[in-house]
């Protein structure tokens, strides 16, 4: 008799909780100002290429000045939201960035998806992000931020960084570094280092 009462009480409790959750469903249909506005790009470009250049000296009203290519951005598709209060541009089909140093040496960054925030000059790279420097260093992660104004790159995600010059592979989570990896801070790390034995 006691078991049967407990069983009935348990069924009653489950039924009450189920009715509570079903009764709390949001069936309200939003209209007018409270309905979130859909955002559409003001422009879409297919087979997008954008070249950034800089001049070595200030341009004069007459004549020309030497300039160099700093970066080239390439994507199958670019969507322009520059007309919004916080302007940005997306690359839903991926992005390739080719970056050139002052000696003309090329480093590349590839990502499955990217957003460039125009006002802050920050590039948010997502998906299979792979950065390769001209001297063979390689960083792989799922998200990477590139601060173009300060030439600073950082991630809070898990990463693998390999350096063939030193024979090292570093794994970790969270990393900040400058564009050529001459200075970097890794947060949580572990890795492998190959050591060459000296001949006796």
Q: Which residue has the tokens 């509570």?
A: 20
How far is the C-alpha of 83 from the C-alpha of 87, rounded, in Å? 6
Which residues have CB under 8 Å from 165's CB, separation 6+? 135, 136, 137
**Predicted confidence (pLDDT) per residue in 30-71, tens digit:** 665 666 677 888 999 999 898 988 887 665 655 556 788 888
Q: Which of 4, 84, 101, 86 is nearest to 43 (CA)?
A: 84
Task: Summarize pLDDT for 142-168 with one digit per residue, the tens.
Answer: 999 988 888 888 899 999 989 888 888
Of the pLDDT bands very low, low, confident and very high (cuts 50, 70, 90), residue 22 is: low
Output the CA–CA distances (angstroms, integers) from residue 139 to 107, 109, 174, 189, in the order listed. Answer: 11, 9, 12, 14
Q: In CATH, which superfamily holds the domain spanning 44-193?
A: Lipopolysaccharide (LPS) transport protein A like domain (2.60.450.10)
């Amino acid at each position: 008799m006691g078991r049967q009462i407990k069983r009935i009480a348990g069924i009653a409790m489950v039924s009450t909780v189920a009715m509570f959750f079903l009764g709390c469903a949001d069936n309200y249909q939003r209209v007018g100002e409270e309905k979130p506005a859909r955002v559409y790009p003001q422009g879409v470009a297919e087979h997008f290429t954008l070249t950034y250049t800089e001049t070595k000296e200030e341009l004069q009203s007459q004549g020309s000045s030497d300039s160099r290519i700093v970066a080239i951005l390439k994507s199958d598709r670019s969507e322009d939201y520059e007309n919004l209060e916080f302007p940005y541009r997306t690359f839903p089909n991926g992005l390739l960035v080719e970056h050139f140093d002052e000696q003309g040496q090329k480093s590349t960054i590839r990502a499955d998806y990217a957003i460039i925030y125009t006002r802050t000059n920050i590039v948010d790279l997502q998906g299979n992000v792979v950065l390769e420097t001209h001297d063979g260093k390689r960083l792989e992660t799922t998200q990477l931020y590139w601060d173009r104004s300060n030439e600073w790159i950082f991630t809070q995600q898990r990463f693998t960084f390999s350096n063939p010059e030193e024979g090292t592979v570093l794994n970790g989570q969270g990393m900040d570094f400058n564009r050529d990896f001459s200075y970097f801070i890794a947060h949580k790390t572990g890795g492998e280092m190959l050591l060459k034995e000296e001949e006796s």
